[in-house]
Amino acid sequence: MRRDPADIPNNTVEALDLQAQKLSEKIGLPVIILARPGTYGSSGNHAKRRQRAEFMAVDAALTSLRERYGMQNFILSGHSGGATAAAAILTLGRQDIRCAILTSGAYGLLERAERLRVIRGEKSQGDKDINGLANPYDPLEHISGIVADPKRHILIIGNLQDRVTPFDLQVKFATALRAKGHWVSLIEWPAVAPQFHQLKSSPLRQNLQQCEL
C-alpha cells in the first residue's frame, strides 16, 4: 500500500504472466494468478482487506472464470493474506474446490491483531482487526459454511516461529476444520528469519501431489 507501484517486484502484467506460465510448466496444470482487490493493479482498497466484500469479489472472479472457460474444479493456493482469502472462499460454500494449500495464513483475526498491538506497544482495540476495522471476515468463525467433501484435502503449512501470522492460530484453524470432519494436514515448514513468515523453497509445488487430481 505504501510503496510506489514501480518498486513492487513483478508488478507488471508481463511478469505475472511469465510467473504463471513457469509455474504451470512445473506442475503440469493451468495456473491463474488472481489478485486480491487493491493488489497487482486490481481495483479496490487494500486497506480494507479481510472484509467480507473482498472475499465476495474473489469468489465472483472464480465463478466468472469457471463460466468463461468451462472449468470444473479449482485448486486454491495462497500465502499470508492470500491463504486467508483462499480459506474464506472455502467458507462461502463452493463445491468446486478440489484442494487448498494455505501457507502462513492469518486466522483468529481479532486475537492476532491484539497480539501484534502488544508487540508494537499500541493501545488495545479488541473489537478491531490490524487494519483498525471492525467485523473482519475471519475464516475461523465461518467454518460451518464449508461444504463437506471427503475428497477435498486442505493443507495448512507454516512455521512455528512465524511473527506475522502466529502458528498456534493456524493450528487452531486446522483443529476446528478437523472437528467438522474435513480432511486436513498441518505441516511445519522452514522459513526465512527473522520473521519466519516467508517460507523457503516451494511448499505449493512440493505438496501438490497430496491433492487428489
Sheet holding 183-188, edge to edge: 74-79, 97-103, 153-158, 183-188
pLDDT digits (tens, 9 = 90+) for 68-105: 999 999 999 999 999 999 999 999 999 999 999 999 99
Q: Return the pLDDT at 40.
A: 80
Q: Is the CB of residue 160 less than 8 Å from the CB of residue 197?
A: no
Q: Return the pLDDT at 3.
A: 82
Give me the mean pLDDT over the 11-15 stretch: 90
Paired with 156 in beta bridges are 102, 186
Closest CA to 173 of 90, 115, 58, 51: 90
Answer whether residue 10 shows pLDDT above 90. no
Residue with grid cell 490490524, as numbered in its chain: 130
Where does the pLDDT of residue 8 fall: very low under 50, low under 70, confident under 90, or very high at 90 and above? confident
pLDDT digits (tens, 9 = 90+) for 103-129: 999 999 999 999 999 999 999 999 999
Closest CA to 87 of 143, 150, 162: 143
Query: Please, is 85 exposed, middle or buried when counting C-beta atoms within 10 Å of its C-beta (0-12, 13-18, 19+)?
Result: buried
Alpha helix positions (H), the chain? 13-27, 52-69, 81-91, 109-120, 167-179, 203-207
Answer whether residue 1 shows pLDDT above 80. no
Q: Is 185 helix (H, G, I), strand (E, B) or coil?
A: strand
Backbone angles phi, psi at 160, to 5 degrees: -60, -30
Answer whether residue 41 shows pLDDT above 80. no
Q: Distance between CA atoms of 87 and 108, rounded to whole angstroms? A: 12
Q: Dihedral of the CA atoms 87, 93, 98, 103 (nearest 10)?
A: 0
Give me the mean pLDDT over the 44-67 stretch: 93
